[in-house]
Amino acid sequence: MKKHNFSAGPSILPEYTIKNTADAILNFAGTGLSVMEVSHRDKEFMAVMEQANKLFKELLDIPSGYEVLFLGGGASMQFCMVPYNLMNKKAAYLNTGTWASKAIKEAHFFGEVVEVASSKDENFCYIPKGYEIPSDADYFHITTNNTIFGTEIKEDLDVNVPLVADMSSDIFSRPIDVSKYSVIYGGAQKNLAPSGVAFVIVKEDALGKVDRKIPTMLNYKTHIDNESMFNTPPVVPIFSALQTLIWLKEQGGVKEMEKRNIAKADMLYSEIERNKMFKATVKNIEDRSVMNICFVMNDEYKDLELEFREFAISKGMVGIKGHRSVGGFRASCYNALPVESVKALIDVMQEFEKKH
């Protein structure tokens, strides 16, 4: 049976990435050796790193003055690296969910944190607006896409202080104006690669402004100076990331992804609205994530939640159980998810509706 992979992350990757990674595990770049057992200083892997960096910049149209880093440790490590490198006294954060809250918690280790607004009062089902950012904040931190709650900040904000964004789950899903940000970071395990590597896009002149001493591995400058090769990088995840970037370019880049992602999301949200059994958890249409589409059973069908989940699984749907903080269902529709999978899920929803 064909599987439709709606996992929230790690999540579906292009066939191209999977096939090329499997091939390179057996024989990398004609070396006769596995990509797992070659030195990261060999010319073949140096070429991978260089090409990944170049394509990353090209696909996001990253202006000069910014560097792209590939680091171990995941986005969670960035929750402390960001304030370590950027916060002198005070930073402002927007609290839009579990991951934003975790980022806020780490910032408290480094100075004063101003939570400018929070949607915790309604279980993070909307994106707060109309907040004020203290003009003396060293930066303002946002989580553009909230994987768990299915909300998304879909535009590049204009703010009065340096802007930092966790884009773990919507990087490469749409064009972004990188020039509006000082740092953009994320784990790779959604639209890019298997888990084990984080990306950081950092504006060089945003650095060097804090007084504290920064341990070498936690200092962005270290990794900029060493082109992400200060220590042995996560070779396989970076190789896979390059395959996804090549695929992304062949597909038409982030503009084309945005078009396809909006089409997929519109189809699924429309069905959720139409189908009497379901409702979306995010009320404001403009706050609804294009990547993670959260829905629950309508009140009168609440008892059928488990039955629907089992029915969907029996039809090949994978990873659609909602996060325990929200309940219900979550269909993550990342770049690599084909529209056929969305159609298959809609068929399952309609079939279930007919059954009842």
Max Cα distance, the chain (Å) = 65
Phi, psi (deg, nearest 5) at residue 8: -80, -20
97, 175, 341 from 78: Cα distances, Å: 17, 23, 33
Residue 39, interface with its own copies (CB under 8 A)?
yes
Q: Which stretches does DSSP call E strand in the chain?
A: 4-5, 66-71, 90-95, 112-118, 140-143, 145-146, 151-152, 163-166, 183-187, 198-203, 278-280, 292-297, 317-318, 329-332
What gap in Å lies between CA 225 and CA 216, rounded to an integer?
Answer: 11
Residue 91 interacting with its own copies (CB under 8 A): no
> Could you tell me whether strands 183-187 and 198-203 are parallel, antiparallel, or unpaired per DSSP bridges?
antiparallel
Contacting residue, 194, 246, 328, 331, with its own copies by CB under 8 A: 194
Among 207, 236, 277, 320, binds its own copies (CB under 8 A): 236
Question: At which residue do the structure tokens 């970037």 appear?
Answer: 245
CB of 309: closest distance to its own copies in angstroms? Answer: 15
* Spatial separation of the C-alpha atoms in residues 287 and 289, rounded to whole Å: 6
Token code pair at residue 103? 């980022």
Tokens of 107: 């910032």
# of chain residues touching its own copies (CB under 8 A): 64
**Binding residue for its own copies (CB under 8 A) from 9, 128, 162, 186?**
9
Among 52, 60, 68, 71, which residue sits at the site for its own copies (rule: CB under 8 A)? 71
- Tally helices (H) and strands (E) across the chain: 9, 14
Q: Candidates 23-31, 56-64, 275-283, 338-346 — which segment interacts with its own copies by CB under 8 A?
A: 23-31
Looking at the Cβ atoms of 31 and 275, the one nearer to its own copies is 31
Active site residues: 99, 166, 190
* Contact between 343 and 2 (Cβ < 8 Å): no
Give yes or no for residue 326 binding its own copies (CB under 8 A). no
Under 8 Å CB-to-CB from 332, ≥6 apart: which residues?
A: 6, 7, 8, 9, 11, 147, 169, 190, 291, 292, 293, 319
Q: Which of 47, 51, 54, 109 binds its own copies (CB under 8 A)?
A: 109
186 binds its own copies per the rule CB under 8 A: no
Phi–psi pair at 341, nearest 5 degrees: -70, -40
Establish if 87 lies at the interface with its own copies (CB under 8 A).
no
Residue 98 makes contact with its own copies by CB under 8 A: no
101 binds its own copies (CB under 8 A): no
Nearer to its own copies, 109 or 131 (CB): 109
Q: Is 77 in the site for its own copies (CB under 8 A)?
A: yes
Residue closer to its own copies (CB basis): 162 or 186? 186
251's enclosing H/E stretch is helix 235-251
The least CB distance from residue 189 to its own copies, in Å, is 6
**260 and 137 Cβ atoms separated by less than 8 Å:** no
x/- contact string, 201-220, with its own copies (CB under 8 A)? ------------x-xxxx--
Q: How far is the CB of 159 from its own copies (least distance, A)?
A: 25
We find the least distance from the C-beta atom of residue 155 to its own copies, in angstroms, to be: 27
Give the binding range for its own copies (CB under 8 A) out of 152-160, 202-210, 224-232, 301-309.
224-232
Query: Where is the binding site for pyridoxal 5'-phosphate, in residues?
Result: 75-76, 99, 147, 166, 189, 231-232
Residues that bind its own copies (CB under 8 A): 1, 3, 5, 7-13, 17-19, 21-22, 25-26, 31-40, 71-77, 79-80, 84, 102, 105-106, 109, 187, 189, 193-197, 213, 215-218, 230-237, 240, 318-319
Query: Where is the binding site, in residues?
Result: 41, 75-76, 99, 147, 166, 189, 231-232
